[in-house]
A and B are shown apart, each in its own frame.
Chain A
Amino acid sequence: MDRALRSRLQARFGLELHGEIRQRNDETELRIGAGDVVDVLRALHDEPAFDFAILADLAGVDTGREMQVVYHLWSQSTNDWLRVIVEGLSRDDPRIASATFLWKGAEWMERETYDMFGIVFEGNRDLRRIYMPPDYTSFPLRKDFYLADDSARSPGAGVRHMERTHSPAEAGEAPLRSGTGT
């Protein structure tokens, strides 16, 4: 675990950060708001002290209460994976700046995230559906989208069993599986 990365990030992005920087296993996690994403990503990519040249992944997350966009970055200068969680996007109209100005390869990842969650990436020149047909209207990976044969909602049957869990995943977050159970 790279303690130095944590203090360097804390010193550089102290104002933008939401909450503490967390470290677990070989991952460092920081949370920012949607307004700061361009500045933070640009600094992480361009500044020689960070040099996060590789965008490993871009994922959307629907927590049930809000939308998040999660970036995983890799740099030569540290032995940790960096996870940048952009939190606090509204579920009704999630909008965030595109990362295509740094990584052109993010274009399709953002298209996928748009297709699955409806998150709009402003600045992406090609934000259309990528997997689902063009006349499709839902966003399948949202938590309020149920599978047709979702046995979670049929009491007493199927693989989802025993309990309805409403455990808060992390402090301050809504119950994650808000839609499940009967």
Chain B
Amino acid sequence: MSNLTDAAALTTQKPRRTRGLMADGRQRSLTAIIVMAVLCVLWTLPTVGLLVTSLRSRDAQAQTGWWTALWNGGWTMENYRGVFNGTSIGDSFLNSVIVAIPATIIPIMFAAFAAYAFSFMNFKGKDILFILIVIVMVVPIQVAFQPMLNLLGPNGLGISGEYIGVWLLHTGFGMPLAIYTLRNYMSTLPRTVIESAKIDGASHFQTFWKLIVPMSVPALAAFAILQFLWVWNDLLIAKLFLTTQNSTVIVSLQGLLGAQGQGTEYLPAGAFISMLIPMIVFFTLQRYFVRGLTAGAVKG
């Protein structure tokens, strides 16, 4: 049986490769190949430069370009050791993790319920309230700094400088986009499933957990990646609402960028370390990201 289908597949699927045609039979485009190759090199070169520079000694960095490293040498791992011993980047790496994980997951909990209500329930003011979401998505977060610093600061709750303030702010700022993305996705789900759950006597709370959440995984993952990148890479909120003891890796890196003289050789290594986690997250979950972002969110 399997032999038969295999043989059939072989004969029908693979016409002999002709020059200038790709495996799927489309015409190979030389222009596309060349232009894309150039663009890829252009897009990657700056990052490669950072990586190579981070692996070179202080003198080598200062005297010759990184592209000469192949013949000029100067390779060393010293900078990475230095970053962890001589700068605050090592400590702040942990802070970044502690800030980013709760600030990524908690908003999803709240937003998913709201998105469910907007997708599957009828109520007065639904349109107006959702338009409010569209509006606050555009509002610059700068509006929040002074009032929130007053509210969370020593004259208010006194929690400015602690993780909780940052978790709270990221949860609030991430909420509109979360509701918007999740609702766009949920409204593409088949309504018949919800209807049948209802007939079975399931409450909204049960329908939400048993049906909607499992079906919305791509959108949940897409938002989680977006929010994680945003929180990890954020400079402003971390800089203003955390202290030097618990600042994030991005704030430490910014401090390093401003420094002159001693320690500048650690900058490339520090920058590379700060990029590592978001890159891993991004590339392992890329699939979800693209699917969740493009489903329902955009219409051609």
Q: Do A and B bind?
A: no
Footprint of B on A, CB under 8 Å? none
